Amino acid sequence: MVILGAGFGGLELATRLSEELGDGVDVTLIDKGDAFVFGYSKLDVMFGRTTLDAVRLPYSELEKPGVRFLRETITAIDPEPRQVTTDAGTHEADVLVIALGADYDFDATPGLVDGGNEFYSVAGAERLAGVLPSFRGGRAVVGVCGAPFKCPPAPSEAALLLHDYLSARGIRDECEISFVIPFGTPVPPSPDTSKALMAAFAERDIELVPDRRVASLDAARSVAVLDDGSELPYDLFLGIPRHRAPDVVIESGMTEDGYVPVSSRTLRTRYPGVYAVGDVATVGVPKAGVFAEGAARVVAASVIAGLRGDDPPGPYDGLGACYVEFGGGRVGRVDVDFLSGPRPTGTFREPSTALLAEKHEFGASRRARWFGR
């Protein structure tokens, strides 16, 4: 088996197969990076709560029976023969899993690169850790440039953590914070989560600009132009760039409407022996690590059942729990069910320090299982 991408989905899949089959499996796991970083660690890095070095999980520490990690850049995928070309050679797969995540399309938002900052990439978060200390007051805008985007609560978390950051520096009173999001509420599948977030924004004097996305930045005038043509002046812009599948996936011809269509029950693509999991796939669930992980577990179960001659596993359930930072050391939790009913439903748990500890445990358990730390 060849797994493309060692993010949330690829790591969980390789780990499951190794745990169940040990040396009885032959998995090649390929990623162009040299380390995994949890998405939420980017918020910690940008606000100076930790350093990049402290949160990088180097792939050199991956030691799993039956799994071989290769640091290579994938340059072509041919799904019919399940052949993959990289900067180092070619790989043939009997089972191929695309877990390459979503990339950022910076050029889709004119001015973003020159006029603003983004915190969705590791490099962007690290750059911001250097930029934020020099912000001395004025108008701050947290702006989403397009949907879908990873981890729907993350932009709200950024706005709340920015409030904390500016308060700790004693300059919150000299600042305005606006938050632009292309939905009517911050987390549409969970009205209770949205209600709690909107109450938190109101308490902290954060202005919510719903149903709008940032279309471009006019860096010369320091103005964010929204999709209805209205303008929002800024002194500090923190952006969530538009997303798209990695170029190599688009060029493979596997995508429709930007992402790889799969059966939401089995994660199979229309190509025999080819699965897609996580942010790169269209499954009907949000782009978040917990969902990538859940999808990977179904693929692992399906491959294991095939090898053992067992019945195929039950369908992917589309369930996921996301932790939501409210600032002040408190974290809420939303449990979302995307696939079992006619429409998504979410259950919200109020922010608490206990849930902060639970979030830490979530990260620690993955570090231990995936990296043996």
Ligand X SMILES: Cc1cc2nc3c(=O)[nH]c(=O)nc-3n(C[C@H](O)[C@H](O)[C@H](O)COP(=O)(O)OP(=O)(O)OC[C@H]3O[C@@H](n4cnc5c(N)ncnc54)[C@H](O)[C@@H]3O)c2cc1C
Residues that bind ligand X (CB under 6 A): 5-10, 30-33, 39-40, 42-43, 73-74, 99-101, 120, 150-151, 154, 246, 248, 278-280, 287-290, 292, 322-323
Cα–Cα dist 270/155, whole Å: 34
Cα–Cα dist 196/15, whole Å: 36
Cα–Cα dist 367/373, whole Å: 6
**Minimum CB–partner distance for residue 279 and ligand X (Å):** 4
CB-wise, 111 or 239, nearer to ligand X?
Answer: 239
Cα–Cα dist 115/216, whole Å: 9
**Minimum CB–partner distance for residue 288 and ligand X (Å):** 4
Taking the C-alpha atoms of 45, 48, 50 and 51 in order, what is their torsion angle to the nearest 10 degrees?
A: 70
**Minimum CB–partner distance for residue 126 and ligand X (Å):** 13
Contact 226/212 with Cβ under 8 angstroms?
yes
**Minimum CB–partner distance for residue 110 and ligand X (Å):** 22
Cα–Cα dist 337/335, whole Å: 7
**Minimum CB–partner distance for residue 214 and ligand X (Å):** 16
**Minimum CB–partner distance for residue 52 and ligand X (Å):** 14
Structure tokens at 179: 């938050």
CB-wise, 218 or 317, nearer to ligand X?
Answer: 317
CB-wise, 231 or 350, nearer to ligand X?
Answer: 350
CB-wise, 177 or 223, nearer to ligand X?
Answer: 177
**Cβ-proximal residues to 178 (8 Å cutoff; 6+ apart), any chain:** 139, 140, 141, 142, 206, 207, 208, 209, 232
CB-wise, 225 or 240, nearer to ligand X?
Answer: 240
CB-wise, 118 or 236, nearer to ligand X?
Answer: 118
**Minimum CB–partner distance for residue 260 and ligand X (Å):** 11
**Minimum CB–partner distance for residue 164 and ligand X (Å):** 16
Of 171, 183, 185, 181, residue with least CA distance to 235: 171
**Minimum CB–partner distance for residue 228 and ligand X (Å):** 26
In order of 14, 73, 198, 274, 305, the CA distances from 158 in angstroms are 31, 31, 14, 36, 42
315: preceding bond cis by omega (within 30 degrees): no
CB-wise, 172 or 359, nearer to ligand X?
Answer: 359
* Displacement of CA 269 from its chain's centroid (Å): 21
**Minimum CB–partner distance for residue 230 and ligand X (Å):** 26
Of 2, 36, 230, 21, residue with least CA distance to 122: 36
Contact 271/253 with Cβ under 8 angstroms?
no
Long-range Cβ contact pairs of 260-266 (< 8 A, separation 24 or more): 260/98, 264/315, 264/316, 264/318, 264/339, 265/315, 265/316, 266/298, 266/302, 266/312, 266/315, 266/316
**Cβ-proximal residues to 372 (8 Å cutoff; 6+ apart), any chain:** 61, 63
Structure tokens at 271: 């190509």
